[in-house]
Amino acid sequence: MFVPTEDRIRIITAIDHMQQEATRLLKTGKAIVLVPTMGYLHEGHLALMRKGRKHGDALIVSIFVNPTQFGPAEDLQTYPRDLDRDVSLAESVGVDVVFAPEAEAMYDKAHQTYVDLETLPLYLCGLSRPSHFRGVATVVAKLFNIVRPHVAVFGEKDYQQLVIIRRMVRDLNFDIRIIGVPIAREPDGLAMSSRNTYLSENERPSALSLLQALQQAQRSVAQGIRDAGQLIHEASELICSYPYTKIDYVTVCDPKALENVDRVEGPTLMALAVWVGKTRLIDNAILKPSED
């Protein structure tokens, strides 16, 4: 079937081309939506794009494995990549532009400006990944300046990231609406992630312990348990009962400030990071005590 050129997805790699395209779109009154990703797309990413499609005229997806958010011992080199497959998946959900810059162009040799938040990166994933959120906030700020979106869409799977981006947008006065999208899961309940591809068949059942621990905590809260220590203990026991697991953290905290709480009195975040073999998985859920 013949597809007219202007209807087809475009791939832009040069930063100045992306900026020119953003200027052109803005001049014609188009509302730009940005979905930042590191690629190796799955249904979770596509859910963000479908949501984004509804909130603007031009849907731009960035695919960039951002080196500054990886620690020295992390998986930057081995992170899965497949741009051709990503482009066809993006096209299937109506993406207009894939922006896939080179790392050397995003961070030239003399780069020295970073976005650092004061307390939000000190909790949860920030404890074992001390420079991670500095890298995330910096790259997202750069993408906002390059793409100039009206709306940007992020997943609740990376809950701390979403809280940090919302804070950064307020603190730095980006005129951008941030939309959060619920966690997309595999049929067996595992939160979708590009890193799930690292899991072996033997490790897979252990990976399900994260959701099981969250569901157990939700049941306990529904039965009246309010003590955060007890909920954390129950979750940790469940996770450790599976082979290959090693807990990074199990936390019960305030969903906005991310500070630990002792008791579940209102909507409270339970967030988990667990190593399953060599794969670090995260998941989270809001625990809600009943009103009565």
CB of 190 to ligand AMP, least distance (A): 9
Q: Does 194 engage in binding with ligand AMP (CB under 6 A)? A: yes
Question: What is each CA distance from 247 to 76, 218, 251, 265, 266, in whole angstroms?
Answer: 22, 19, 11, 25, 26
Out of 25, 34, 48, 235, name the contact with ligand AMP by CB under 6 A. 48
Q: Does 280 engage in binding with ligand AMP (CB under 6 A)? A: no
Q: Which residue is nearest to ligand AMP (CB)?
A: 155
Q: Does 140 engage in binding with ligand AMP (CB under 6 A)? A: no
* Alpha-carbon torsion (151, 157, 158, 164), positive or negative: positive
- In the range 141-160, which residues lie near ligand AMP by CB under 6 A? 154-155, 157-158
Question: Is the Cβ–Cβ distance between 247 and 240 less than 8 Å?
Answer: yes
Amino acid (1-letter code) at residue 208: L
CB of 186 to ligand AMP, least distance (A): 9
Q: Which of 71, 146, 57 is nearest to 106 (CA)?
A: 146
**Between 37 and 206, CB nearer to ligand AMP:** 37
Whole-number Å distance between alpha carbons of 97 and 146: 13
Question: Is the Cβ–Cβ distance between 258 and 269 less than 8 Å?
Answer: yes
Whole-number Å distance between alpha carbons of 42 and 39: 9
**Between 135 and 155, CB nearer to ligand AMP:** 155
Stretch that binds ligand AMP, among 9-17, 100-108, 189-197, 209-217 (CB under 6 A): 189-197
Report the interface residues with ligand AMP, using CB under 6 A.
37-38, 44-45, 48, 154-155, 157-158, 181, 183-184, 191-194
